[in-house]
A and B are shown apart, each in its own frame.
Chain A
């Protein structure tokens, strides 16, 4: 197996049969309860007008963004973005503020709402199965998928594959690979036959959405220093004016004596 430089997934909604084997595989592989799996499958029901009816099924998964918003938001830096793709969460640093859940436009990070102080309440999300991918195996969800709706590989190759598939069957797909550019690019790419909005995916710009807050954060320290300088200058100025006025008044009072 060739070395993968940028790990990624490709999900093809037209191939998904809603069997949910990926959820079971994820649960077994990572030893997590079924209601807390790191992957969710949602049958979106029948859409369209008769006779052009369609069924959609969506597999929700950590998007492993190229510019992760969870990582940008986390105050203590519990998230890291590996150079080869995965977005990794480190429970040893997590303070449980849940800002990452707010920040993630896909609603991926999950929180242990049922854990008290002793067990410890943490965030959970897809790890990209490092125990498998770094040993030449596919992630558990991909390996178990019976219809190849989920595929795994080199990001660039998967994007090329997705476009080739659209070109081969332009009638079957919407001409767009979700995740190629969304939010600055993601490592979970999606092909669909129904509008992406119907799959519950947010409409995102090509620039990462954390750009605005990161720009504001960059301005913080220069702003704090200059605002502090202005306030100091005002303080000194007002004090000087005040003292002068007081001295003048005292002088006046003395003179009038």
Chain B
């Protein structure tokens, strides 16, 4: 006998959304445990390691992978390079969701999450974290305004969408300024730890390095997210546009590489490149994977012009540059190697994220992917496509399970 259960149409969800929902559920349970029993109950954070996986992944990685938003907004609105318009809306959406994920993750990580708004009224001007907090809050607002026309068009309020569009320029400029500030400030966040961060990474120009690498990450993210969504939603890929973006990568990465090594040489830290054991290995891993390999990869025309070449290159770049964020905010902090700091009196001097800790981050990330999918399905995120390609297939991402009734 064939078991035939038919769900009402709105309950039919595909495999990917179900997995995402399950991951979100786990994260929710873990977060509730954290609120009930404290951060120590679910994480390996300690007096010696007050910041761990959440900060490295949710804050450092989350912010940097959202940098595509301001890059595209700047390119399309300020430099008026209109051909990139098809990439604008997905990038702004990614950025908006990225920052939302940062904010949600901070609500788990903060000891007093209900006081997060204190940053708006109690200001300590010397704190880099305050600058980041304020920039992120303001930039979230700016991104909401930048994305609002898409939502308004989606609910057929063209007039309002038009109105916002008319006054968008000040917000775009503000958005680029805010992004420049906090992308670099994430680097400044570690300036106060010269005794804790390994000299391979601690330098007074950390903010400049962070901003330069954020540009490369932004470009790679645009390539990655366009490639993935084109596969998932089975729509055309703007390979010619992505190829143009990819052409910029060897340049942005090259600038970063030069600054990084010149700075190391000036500081007289070049000997650490080979003498710091695992730290040297991590440093070279980040440089080889995130900078040198992509520079070579994207210098080859064939790689830039094929969909798989673009995707592979972008993934490599992201892996390497995200490793950089992990190195700076976690792996390179408080190492025992060149003895600049020995926390002998701390009980737990090793840190390794626990499963619930990682589950929170994965759950929040899943929510981001889910939200991207839903937004892409219900709002004209890939709208520019609709105009150029009339014979475009309807997106059917979130009901991808074929049902007999559909034919």
- A positions within 8 Å CB-CB of B: 40, 42, 44, 58, 60, 69, 71-77, 93-99, 101-103, 105, 107, 110-117, 119-123, 197, 200, 202-204, 209-210, 212-214, 216-217, 220, 223-224, 227-228, 231-232, 234-235, 238-239, 242
Contact = CB atoms under 8 A, between A and B. Distances in A.
A216 B341 CA distance: 24
The 6 closest A-B pairs by CB, nearest first: A96-B111, A113-B40, A77-B124, A121-B111, A75-B130, A101-B50
B127 A107 contact: no
A247 B194 CA distance: 56
Given A110-B47, A122-B111, A224-B181, A74 B124 contact: yes
B50 A105 contact: no
A205 B124 CA distance: 24
Counting chain A CB atoms within 10 Å of each CB, the highest count among B48, B177, B340 belongs to B177
Interface stretch (B14-22, B112-120, B232-240, B294-302): B112-120
B146 to A, nearest CB: 15
Contact of A200 (B79, B118, B172, B344): B344
B401 interface: no
B346 interface: yes
A239 B168 CA distance: 14
Contacts of B194: 209, 212
B344 A93 contact: no
B91 interface: no
Contacts of B78: 231, 234-235, 238
Contacts of B10: none
Interface in B148-195: 169, 172-174, 176-177, 180-181, 185, 188-189, 191-195
Given A74-B127, A76-B130, A121-B111, A101 B181 contact: no
B353 to A, nearest CB: 14
A102 B56 CA distance: 13
A202 B115 CA distance: 33
Residue in A102, A103, A234 whose Cβ sees the most chain B Cβ within 10 Å:
A102
B180 A227 contact: yes
B343 A116 contact: no
Interface of B: 34-41, 43, 45-48, 50-51, 74, 77-80, 109-116, 118-119, 122-131, 133, 169, 172-174, 176-177, 180-181, 185, 188-189, 191-196, 204, 207, 339-346
A121 B39 CA distance: 9
A77 B133 CA distance: 14
Contact of A113 (B38, B127, B180, B196): B38
Contacts of A76: 118-119, 122-124, 130
Given A42-B344, A44-B344, A107-B47, A95 B173 contact: no
B115 A117 contact: no
A105 B110 contact: no
Contacts of B35: 116-117
Contacts of A44: 344
Given A121-B112, A217-B126, A224-B181, A238 B79 contact: yes
A95 B111 contact: yes
Given A103-B192, A202-B195, A216-B188, A232 B110 contact: no
Contacts of B37: 114, 116
24 contacts: A74-B127, A75-B124, A75-B127, A75-B133, A76-B119, A96-B115, A102-B51, A102-B192, A102-B196, A110-B47, A111-B39, A111-B50, A113-B46, A114-B41, A122-B112, A212-B191, A213-B188, A213-B191, A216-B128, A217-B131, A228-B173, A235-B173, A238-B78, A242-B80
B111 A73 contact: no
B276 to A, nearest CB: 17
B126 to A, nearest CB: 5
A116 B45 CA distance: 15
B329 to A, nearest CB: 10
B111 A94 contact: yes
Q: In the complex, which of the residues B41, B111, B192 has the most CB atoms of chain A within 10 Å of its own CB atom?
A: B192
A123 to B, nearest CB: 8
A112 B126 contact: no
Nearest to A205: B194
Contact of B192 (A93, A114, A209, A242): A209
B121 to A, nearest CB: 9
Nearest to B133: A75
